[in-house]
Structure 1
Amino acid sequence: MEKRTGLTGSTLKIIALISMVLDHISRIVLTNGIMMRATYGQISNSQWSTLETVADVTSTLGRIAFPIFCFLIVEGFVHTHNLFKYMLTMLGFALLSEGVYDYVCSGSIFSIEQQNVMFEFLLALVMLFLLRQLQKIPKLPKVPEIIGDLLVVFLFSVLSEQFYLDGGMYGILLIAVFYFFRSYKKTRFVAAILVFLISACHIVLGGFVFNWDNILDLTVAAEIVSLIPISFYNGKRGLRQKYFFYVFYPLHLLLLYGCMLLIMRML
């Protein structure tokens, strides 16, 4: 049996999970936690400066996660034997995670300000399903297939913004790129970078503003770095982690929020 070198899907998922935890440490424990809640008497200026640096570093490293998860959603869609079950599982855990996500992010059990990332991935799966169905429809003469594909991607990009999904248009475009150029690694790499740059200039529901500071930001560099492990993907599933990510997502949010509260009590 031929042994493929490279990274398996489970290895990519572990890399993404570590990066995601770092991102949420920055957001939940530091930026929206200790740094927002602590008083001047609890944290000195030097300690604040250290926390700010750590928050910036972990946030930047956290940007590696999302592109990898988007890539794995496409691979899951392509390889699943039961798309309906896949989508139903995503929906179930999205609903179960929403209360935790809302409470950790806004302090309320229910909030419409932003929905957790599993809803974004569910919407993307629906989009991929429609794109695949479009390929089966006979095309009219002189009507390029890409027109229908672009209309679907545009529609779902708008929906992701209207429903305030975590990932928004950025996630939909990135997943579309990974799907369309799945067999063309170099083109996929370049197209993904274009999505990163578009996202850097994008203001949610407010259009686009070109700014060199955003383009040259370290978060864009981290997103580009995420394409390196993706390029080493060997097409193998790796370790079976059927429900690990689904359970890990809300659980780690709760644990990080609990850690933040514990640290605040100790200050």
Structure 2
Amino acid sequence: MELSGKKGLTTFDLKILGIVFMFIDHIHQMFSLMGAPGWLDWFGRPVATLFFFISVEGFSHTRNKEKYLFRLLMGFWLMNIGSSLVQKVFTLGNMALANNIFTDLFVGVLAMYGIDSLVRFKETKQGKSLLIGLACLLCPIIFSVIPLVGMTSGNMFLLSIARVFPATLFAENSVMVYLIPVMYLLRKNKKWQCLAIGVVALIFLLGNPSAAFTSNTQWMMVFSVIPILLYNGEKGRGMRSFFYIFYPAHIWLLYIIASIIYNH
């Protein structure tokens, strides 16, 4: 593929690949009760890592990092509200509609913002930068602990905190979201970024190698290095709003269709 006079894949191309594979994965998720084959899940394993890489590129080049964070936070809130409304009308067995990649991306981007603040503190010695940096890194962890306390004590108010404040342990990929700041620190060397992805994938694989093609497929995230290595550093086409809309829309649509089929 050759776009913008440069061979390789643009950010736009990576996003298109990501949403196509994500869509296939979510077909498996929503229709598994009706016999959707397990191998459809394989397509989705590289997706989160691919979007992590895209978020590093986006954060590194955006002119307004605060606005970038705010967009992700709005996505997080709207996704939670929309999913709650959908589940009030439709049900799909015992499946909870918990998908919200905006949680992962917000926590990861917030960590990058925190790193920048700590670098700024190192350069300027301003206490404000230190406080902001530490808050960005620690708050998602603190907001993970509070709902867990609510879960064990039965306190619904504490449990609901995770639906208001993005929390690391309530992200789709949990602590793996910190692969985002790791790749941010390695952003000047794409091969080192891919090595970091490979190390995390290997950890998952060694966790249960006998189930590598059944219940332990997260190691397949390693295949995200292929499009990442083909990335040419170009933005490509825009259509930012499309990607923000497509994610919740396709989740809700698939859930609704699956619910109608399953219950009738």
2:191 is the alignment partner of 1:186: yes
Q: Distance in 2 between matches of 1:187 and 1:232?
A: 14
Matched, 1:196 2:201: yes
* Contact 1:197-1:220 at 8 Å conserved across structures: no
Q: Deviations over 1:140-182 (max 9, x none)?
A: xxxxxxxxxxx9998578458643121210122x212321111
**CA apart distance, 1:67:** 0.6
Post-superposition offset of 1:264: 2.8
Question: Would the alpha carbon gap of residues 114 and 261 (structure 1) be closer, same or farther in structure 2, given more than 3 Å must change?
Answer: closer
- Match of residue 80, structure 2, among 91, 98, 109: 98
State the match for 2:43 in structure 1: 61
Distance 1:100 1:135 in 2: 37
CA displacement at 1:220 relative to structure 2: 4.2
Provide the secondary structure at the position in 2 that maps to 1:137. Answer: helix
User: What aligned pairs does 1:108-257 form with structure 2 within 5 A after superposition?
Assistant: 116-138=100-122, 155=138, 158=141, 162=145, 163=167, 164-172=170-178, 174-199=179-204, 210-213=207-210, 219-257=217-255
- In 2, Cα distance between the equivalents of 1:177 and 1:253? 29
Residues 86, 252 of structure 2: 8 Å contact kept? yes
Q: Note if 1:260 corresponds to 2:253.
A: no
Distance in 2 of aligned mates of 1:183 and 1:160: 31
Q: Report the CA distance shift for 1:123/1:69 in structure 2 as closer, same or farther (over 3 A).
A: same
Residue 256 (structure 1) shift: 0.4
Residues 24, 89 of structure 1: alpha-carbon distance in 2 compared, 3 angstrom cutoff: same
8 A contact 1:161–1:168 mirrored in 2? no
Q: Deviations over 1:113-155 (max 9, x none)?
A: 957220221121111011012222338xxxxxxxxxxx99985
Change in CA separation of 1:102 and 1:178 when aligned onto 2, cut-off 3 Å: farther
For the residues of structure 2 that align with 1:88 and 1:154, how far apart are their CA atoms?
A: 16
Query: Once the two structures are aligned, what percentage of the paired residues are identical?
Result: 28
Residues 157, 169 of structure 1: 8 Å contact kept:
no
Question: What SS class does the counterpart of residue 63 from structure 2 fall into?
Answer: coil
- 8 Å CA contact 2:109–2:181 kept in 1: the answer is no
Q: Could you tell me whether the CA contact under 8 Å between 2:53 and 2:183 is conserved in 1?
A: yes
Listed as ranges, the matches of 1:43-54 within 5 Å are 51=35, 54=37
Amino acid at match of 1:96: L
Q: Which structure 1 segments of 5+ residues have no match?
A: 36-50, 140-150, 202-209
Q: Shift in Å at residue 24 of structure 1?
A: 1.1
| Contact map agreement 1:94 1:116 (CA 8 A) in 2 | yes
Q: What code does the residue aligned with 1:169 have?
A: V
In structure 1, the partner of 2:149 is none
8 Å CA contact 1:68, 1:230 repeated in 2: yes
1:254 partner amino acid? W
| 1:105 Cα offset (Å) | 7.9
CA shift at 1:58, angstroms? 1.1
Q: Normalized against structure 2, the TM-score is what? A: 0.72
210-219 or 243-252: bigger deviation: 210-219
**What whole-Å deviation, never above 9, does each CA across 1:50-109 have from its counterpart, x for those lacking one?**
x25x2x11111111211110001111100111111111111112111113345668978x
* RMSD between aligned residues: 3.1
Contact in 2 for aligned 1:114/1:165 (Cα 8 Å): no
SS at match of 1:138: helix
Q: Deviations over 1:192-243 (max 9, x none)?
A: 1112233456xxxxxxxx4333568772453111110011111111111121
Measured in 2, the distance between the counterparts of 1:117 and 1:82 equals 21
